[in-house]
């Protein structure tokens, strides 16, 4: 195994399950349809559905007729700032 | 004279700075200090030696006390004694000191600094405390925002009846800033990690102990709605508001869910509610069209308002942009470098760059590696390119909501110096109708642009959410007395008070929306310190002396300042929505020589003016 392959293997130990937003074309999402597509639905906010899905199934979800849009949940960072710039 | 440890322990550390270390008198030290040119602020030289020690003490003295020290070589101290009357008689026998008993066990003593040790040696003396200048009973930020004048609140509103939501790292429920008459003001607490929910009764019974092991959420909550506590001047903006807190995983989907949970709780209680988000990221379209941001728009409405921080990317080089010439085939290159990262003892480069262009334009986007390889994204979906020492994942998407084009490249490299520099994004206009092209490196830790970068469009998500009130930071404090004996008097005199914080992220959004809308005090604010916050998160120099409060800075601190102000506004007008709240903020804000007039990318429309905010007439 090359050095790069080793690095990629270590970095790719990310979980297969990812949290997403799925936006449905219909104003009221068909939750059971989303479940059939492999999504564990956590909550519904209007036509936006939050849930967890296997990363391999995202492409199928994106191409589904009922789904307008899929967005991966991303990590946000707190907006405090250290004093390192001021503290000599 | 050699001083014993027990004698020193009787003396306030502020006073030990004045104990003579040289043959100079205080007058000589002060004269020498005053002869220095301090107009340029502290320098390493001026920070050394006895001069700064005197200066530190004098900064906490009243003008009268300073004059007495300079002219009479005397200072006032408060002495705790076993028998104040007996001690006063003993001191009065000295020629150069005066004592006045204040109670059976305390005295005010006027004494030469080099006699403080002589005083401490006396058996009758328990402790000698410096007589320091007392601050007005409000923090400096409150004066700047016109919430306080002459130590008195300028407005009758206190946030009473309003629910303030905090989505953050949790809260120290035991902190006195959130307890009134022995009862918690935290009515709802949900931990997204443990999935536990607690109500006020649970917290009051002490059967649960939710806490904040980072300190961020406690500080943020205290700025918005801390009630202060006896002996501290650090009350929040809305000290009588109720609190609903969600300890979040920091995932954007969970943050959206937290807002819904807090608004639902407000619905159940029939309360107006404002939710604070002091967090963000640079993924996404930077135009408010992320699903997470549109969820905020969906959830906001009458009596339901979200406030966000603009971000701290003000000096970063993570954004580059150009406007290609309309109708012509032209080319733009933005160079960038990677920063090595260390995760799990593995060092490597890992950078993701997102390039956005308008749906009207046909533009080719490619990535060039340091050795000249070119990578182009496929028309749809992803494509991986694996070389010997690095890998590139290229993708292209058409955003479902706006129709705009997003091209992204993720680069993973081995930790080799030659792989860190010399990368470029190359944009070739094919059919240009609008021409605007923006590129963001999604995290400052990943790397930076070395050409083509611009100090604009640095408000990330959810700060670009259309409905959210987005807050920039300006400076209102640069010194404090800390709990760190090595840095007792923290003084960052390079900070210009009332000026924009260097770190505050400027707008506008990619589609030209005027973000941030408002600026508020965010550098440095003193607010409650979580008892579980580690020193790595809140160093001793940031912790206040003698109270459970700490100084912190960031747009994280500015946002809750506005959140508190919106709570006051909702107390007065519970049904207003975000649009009306923004109108009133803009109409009432303060503009000065720092802000200029009208909207600008750093300040928004100006500085928050709470008194005027609450006087704006309904539309």
Q: Which helix (H) or strand (E) holds A61?
A: helix A58-62
Q: What is the pLDDT of residue B488?
A: 87
List CB contacts of A63: < 8 A, sequence separation 6 or more. none
User: What is the distance between the alpha carbons of residues A74 and B249, in angstroms, rounded to a whole number?
Assistant: 10
**Residue B598 corresponds to which tokens in the numbers above?**
């009208």
CA B4 to chain centre: 42
State the CB neighbour count (10 A cutoff) for residue B250.
Answer: 19
Q: What is the pLDDT of residue B2?
A: 41
Rounded average pLDDT over A17-27 = 96
> Which residues in chain B are closer than 8 Å to A42, comparing Cβ atoms?
253, 257
Q: What is the pLDDT of residue B16?
A: 66
User: What is the distance between the alpha carbons of residues B135 and B151, in angstroms, rounded to a whole number?
Assistant: 9
Q: Which helix (H) or strand (E) holds A9?
A: helix A3-11
- CB distance A87–B279 less than 8 Å? no
Q: What is the pLDDT of residue A76?
A: 95
Taking the Cβ of residue A1 and every Cβ of chain B, the question of whether any pair is shorter than 8 Å is answered with: no
Q: What number of helices (H) and strands (E) belong to chain A?
A: 3, 5
Q: What global pTM score does this model have?
A: 0.82
SS3 B247: strand
Nearest 5°: phi and psi at B318?
Answer: -105, 0
Q: What is the pLDDT of residue B496?
A: 94
Answer yes or no: are the C-beta atoms of B549 and B529 closer than 8 Å. yes
Q: A30-39, B105-114, B487-496, B587-596: which range is least confident on average?
A: B105-114
Answer yes or no: are the C-beta atoms of B401 and B293 closer than 8 Å. no
**Residue B166 corresponds to which tokens in the numbers above?**
């905090």
Peptide bond into B103 cis (omega under 30): no
**Residue B462 corresponds to which tokens in the numbers above?**
């959810």
Q: What is the pLDDT of residue B344?
A: 76
Residue-wise pLDDT tens digits, B9-33:
788 776 766 555 444 555 565 555 5
B326 pLDDT higher than 50: yes
Rounded average pLDDT over B590-610 = 96
Closest chain B residue to the Cα of A2, Cα to Cα: B388
Closest chain B residue to the Cα of A50, Cα to Cα: B253
Q: What is the band of B614 on the pLDDT scale with cuts at 50, 70, 90? A: very high
Vertex B139: Cα angle to B138 and B140 (nearest 5): 120
- CB distance A7–B348 less than 8 Å? yes
B44 vs B200: which has the higher pLDDT: B200
List CB contacts of B152: < 8 A, sequence separation 6 or more. none
- CB distance A43–B388 less than 8 Å? no
- Please identify which residue in the block is written with the tokens 């993924």: B283
B133 pLDDT higher than 90: no
> Which residues in chain B are closer than 8 Å to A56, comparing Cβ atoms?
none
Taking the Cβ of residue A10 and every Cβ of chain B, the question of whether any pair is shorter than 8 Å is answered with: yes
B134 pLDDT higher than 50: no
Nearest 5°: phi and psi at B319?
Answer: -125, 135
- CB distance B344–A20 less than 8 Å? no
Given CA atoms B59, B65, B66, B70 in this order, what sign does their dihedral have? Answer: negative
B279 vs B37: which has the higher pLDDT: B279
Q: What is the pLDDT of residue B31?
A: 58
Q: What is the pLDDT of residue B39?
A: 38
- CB distance B279–A3 less than 8 Å? no
| d(CA A36, nearest CA chain B) in Å | 21
Q: B87-96, B236-245, B536-545, B599-608: which range is least confident on average?
A: B87-96
Interface mutation target, options A46, A77, A80, chain B, most CBs of B under 10 Å: A80
Answer yes or no: are the C-beta atoms of B184 and B200 closer than 8 Å. yes
Q: What is the band of B8 on the pLDDT scale with cuts at 50, 70, 90? A: confident
Residue-wise pLDDT tens digits, B555-577:
999 999 999 999 999 999 999 99
B44 pLDDT higher than 50: no
Strand segments (E) across A1-88: 17-24, 40-45, 48-54, 67-72, 77-78
User: What is the distance between the alpha carbons of residues B163 and B266, in angstroms, rounded to a whole number?
Assistant: 7
Q: What is the pLDDT of residue B51?
A: 44
**Residue B481 corresponds to which tokens in the numbers above?**
């007395």
């Amino acid at each position: 195994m090359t050095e790069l392959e080793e690095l990629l293997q270590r970095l790719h130990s990310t979980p297969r399950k990812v949290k997403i937003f799925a936006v449905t074309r219909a104003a009221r999402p068909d939750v059971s349809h989303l479940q059939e597509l492999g999504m564990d639905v956590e909550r519904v906010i209007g036509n936006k559905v939050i849930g967890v899905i296997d990363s391999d199934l995202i492409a199928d979800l994106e191409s589904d007729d009922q789904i307008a849009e899929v967005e991966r949940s991303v990590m946000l960072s707190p907006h405090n700032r250290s004093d390192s710039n001021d503290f000599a | 004279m050699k001083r014993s440890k027990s004698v020193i322990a009787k003396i306030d550390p502020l006073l030990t700075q004045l104990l003579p270390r040289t043959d100079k008198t205080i007058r000589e030290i002060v004269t020498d200090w005053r002869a220095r040119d301090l107009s340029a602020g502290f320098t390493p030289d001026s920070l050394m030696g006895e001069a700064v020690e005197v200066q530190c003490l004098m900064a906490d003295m009243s003008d009268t006390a300073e004059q007495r020290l300079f002219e009479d070589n005397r200072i006032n101290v408060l002495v705790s004694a076993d028998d104040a009357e007996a001690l006063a008689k003993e001191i009065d026998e000295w020629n150069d000191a005066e004592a006045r008993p204040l109670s059976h066990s305390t005295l005010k003593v006027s004494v030469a600094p080099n006699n403080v040790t002589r005083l401490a040696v006396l058996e009758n003396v328990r402790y000698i405390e410096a007589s320091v200048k007392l601050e007005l009973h409000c923090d400096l930020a409150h004066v700047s925002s016109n919430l306080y004048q002459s130590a008195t609140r300028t407005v009758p509103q206190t946030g009473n009846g309003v629910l303030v939501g905090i989505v953050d790292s949790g809260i120290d429920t035991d902190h006195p800033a959130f307890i009134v008459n022995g009862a918690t003001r935290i009515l709802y607490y949900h931990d997204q990690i443990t999935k536990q929910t607690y109500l006020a009764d649970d917290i009051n019974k002490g059967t649960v102990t939710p806490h904040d092991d980072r300190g961020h959420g406690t500080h943020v909550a205290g700025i918005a709605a801390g009630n202060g506590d006896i002996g501290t001047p650090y009350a929040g903006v809305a000290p009588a508001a109720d609190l609903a807190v969600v300890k979040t995983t920091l995932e954007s989907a969970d943050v959206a869910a937290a807002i819904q949970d807090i608004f639902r709780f407000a619905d159940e209680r029939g309360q107006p509610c404002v939710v604070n988000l002091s967090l963000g990221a640079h993924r996404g379209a930077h135009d408010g069209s992320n699903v997470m941001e549109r969820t905020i728009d969906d959830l906001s409405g009458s009596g339901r308002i979200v406030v966000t921080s603009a971000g701290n990317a003000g000096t970063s080089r993570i954004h580059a942009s150009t406007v290609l010439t309309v109708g012509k085939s032209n080319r733009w290159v933005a160079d960038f470098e990677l920063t090595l990262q260390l995760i799990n003892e593995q060092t490597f480069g890992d950078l993701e760059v997102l390039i956005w262009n308008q749906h009207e334009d046909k533009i080719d986007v490619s990535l060039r590696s340091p050795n000249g390889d070119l990578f182009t994204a496929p028309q749809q979906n992803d494509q991986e390119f694996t070389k010997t020492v690095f890998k590139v994942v290229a993708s292209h998407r058409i955003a479902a909501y706006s129709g705009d084009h997003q091209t992204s490249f993720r680069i993973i490299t081995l930790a080799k110096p030659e792989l860190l520099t010399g990368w470029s994004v190359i944009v070739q206009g094919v059919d240009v109708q609008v021409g605007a092209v923006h590129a963001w490196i999604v995290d400052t830790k990943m790397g930076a642009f070395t050409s083509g970068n611009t100090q604009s469009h640095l408000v990330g998500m959810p700060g670009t959410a259309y409905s959210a009130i987005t807050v920039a930071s300006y400076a209102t404090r640069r010194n404090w007395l800390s709990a760190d004996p090595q840095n007792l008097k923290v003084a960052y005199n390079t900070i210009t008070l009332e000026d924009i914080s260097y770190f505050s992220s400027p707008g506008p959004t990619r589609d030209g929306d005027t973000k941030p809308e408002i600026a508020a005090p965010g550098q440095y604010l003193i607010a409650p310190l979580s008892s579980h916050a580690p020193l790595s998160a809140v160093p001793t120099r940031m912790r206040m002396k003698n109270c459970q409060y700490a100084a912190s800075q960031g747009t994280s601190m500015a946002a809750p300042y506005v959140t508190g102000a919106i709570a006051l506004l909702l107390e007065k007008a519970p049904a207003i929505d975000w649009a009306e709240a923004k109108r009133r903020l803009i109409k009432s804000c303060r503009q000065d020589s720092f802000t200029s007039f009208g909207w600008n990318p750093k300040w928004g429309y100006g500085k928050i003016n709470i008194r005027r905010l609450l006087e704006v007439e309904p539309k």
